[in-house]
Amino acid sequence: MKLTVVLGTLSFFVLVIAIVFIAANEQDRMESFTQSYQSRQIETGAALFENNCIICHGPQGRGIDSVGPAINAADLFNGERLGSFGFSGTVENYLRGVISAGRPVPSEGTDFPERMPTWGMDNGGPMRDDQINALVEFIMNWEEVALARGEDKPDGGTPGEGVGTDITIALPAGDPEVGEELIAGTLACAACHVLGPAGPAWAAEAGIPGIATRAESRTSQDDYTGEASDAVQYLIESILLSDAYVVDGYLSGIMPANYSQRLNVQELADIIAYLQSLP
């Protein structure tokens, strides 16, 4: 009799301990499941953003002048921009709404040449709800850094130091590695020339040589309309006065026209040094 009681009590405790143990682990398991689900969502969102959005909103969503507004910006996350549209919901809901429905009608005070496309299937676009949610998670991931960065100009311009539009300007020595960082940053050159097809690819591809080689012969082409007399001047002209010569097969007015104000002379030299390293 006594032995049964002891055994019963013991097995009761063993059972309790087992349940507590399983429950504790289950919570861990759920947490790590939720975490890995979230990071998968963000990864999916990043890929969707890269393939569909940077062409207008720039790498890292920092915006492209006269093409698409910055999304990675403090005034979006702190509610200022939502307030100005009279929207009183959360930032997540705002993003979900705009991305899904697009902006067929331009918002007041903007003059972007192209409309924000409609993405959600509910609205006749190509993306499922889970894809839109992944994009929203990816964008929300910028919040902390964007708020910390505050109101500094998202396009990274250096006002007052603009290099101007003289294509015969003498350049200091340039550093191609710095140039490579600059073109990948908020100037957004890479969005059009490296990652997407909006501008001529700089790297050699499909039998067409890279930009350094092309620049050598552009000025002696029959259809050349600019003022440059050598490769370096051609590159300077392409950046500061991009419409002086419009590359065959591309449209004028796509490349931002304000790099002469946004770049200082050293930045221009660094970018050109980088372009000259792409034969």
Site for ligand HEC, rule CB under 6 A? 52-53, 55-57, 64, 67-69, 71, 81, 95, 98-99, 103, 106-107, 110, 112, 114, 116-117, 119, 135, 183, 187-189, 191-193, 198-200, 211, 214, 218, 235, 238-239, 242-243, 245-247, 250, 252, 254-256, 259, 271, 275
Task: CB nearer to ligand HEC: give 68 or 154.
Answer: 68
Q: Please, what is the minimum distance in Å from the beta carbon of residue 207 to ligand HEC?
A: 14
Q: Are 212 and 202 in contact (CB under 8 A)?
A: no
Q: Please, what is the minimum distance in Å from the beta carbon of residue 170 to ligand HEC?
A: 19
Total number of residues shown for the chain: 279
Task: CB nearer to ligand HEC: give 9 or 217.
Answer: 217
Could you give the CA distance from residue 158 to residue 118 in angstroms, rounded to a whole number? 34
**87-113: b or e for each residue (b if 16 or more CB lie within 10 Å)?**
eeeebeebbbbbbbbbeeeeeeeeeee
Task: CB nearer to ligand HEC: give 20 or 80.
Answer: 80
Q: Please, what is the minimum distance in Å from the beta carbon of residue 41 to ligand HEC?
A: 14
**To 5 degrees, how large is the angle CA 188–CA 184–CA 268?**
80
Task: CB nearer to ligand HEC: give 239 or 269.
Answer: 239
Q: Please, what is the minimum distance in Å from the beta carbon of residue 12 to ligand HEC?
A: 57
Q: Are 151 and 73 in contact (CB under 8 A)?
A: no
Task: CB nearer to ligand HEC: give 5 or 206.
Answer: 206
Q: Tokens 């093409």 belong to which residue?
A: 67
Q: What is the largest CA-CA distance in the chain?
A: 109
Could you give the CA distance from residue 89 to residue 31 in angstroms, rounded to a whole number? 28
Q: Please, what is the minimum distance in Å from the beta carbon of residue 177 to ligand HEC?
A: 15
Closest CA to 266 of 181, 143, 197, 195: 181
Task: CB nearer to ligand HEC: give 5 or 224.
Answer: 224
Could you give the CA distance from residue 61 to residue 53 in angstroms, rounded to a whole number? 8
Q: Please, what is the minimum distance in Å from the beta carbon of residue 79 to ligand HEC?
A: 12
Task: CB nearer to ligand HEC: give 17 or 269.
Answer: 269
Q: Please, what is the minimum distance in Å from the beta carbon of residue 54 to ligand HEC?
A: 8
Q: Are 54 and 196 in contact (CB under 8 A)?
A: yes
Q: Are 92 and 81 in contact (CB under 8 A)?
A: no
